[in-house]
Amino acid sequence: MRAFTLALVLIAAVSLAACSGPAEDAAHRQADAVDAAGERQAVALERQAAATSNEAEETALNRKADAVENAADGQSDAMHRQVDKDH
């Protein structure tokens, strides 16, 4: 009976350790917010690009949109990896 109880306690402890806590959830939400903000900024730049009649400006704005989105994705991914490493 003791071995069974000990096994249950160990399983419960491992299960709890695998669950994310409030701090981890908040950190992941913050990383997601960085990604979403970059996406919003990129969409705004793409709309600005679509609205211009200057082809060079359109190209430059689309490149900037891509760079902004890629930077936000990279930062968000790095934040997620750090959270997973820390928790």
- Angle, vertex CA 80, rays to CA 14 and CA 63, nearest 5: 160
Whole-model pTM: value is 0.74
Using CA atoms, how far apart are residues 85 and 87, in angstroms rounded to an integer?
6
The more confident residue out of 19 and 21 is: 21
Q: What is the pLDDT of residue 48?
A: 98
Please state the φ and ψ torsions of residue 36, each to the nearest 5 degrees. -65, -40
Mean pLDDT computed over every residue of the chain: 87
Q: How many residues does the chain have?
A: 87
> On the CB side of 33, how many CA atoms lie within 13 Å of its CA?
6
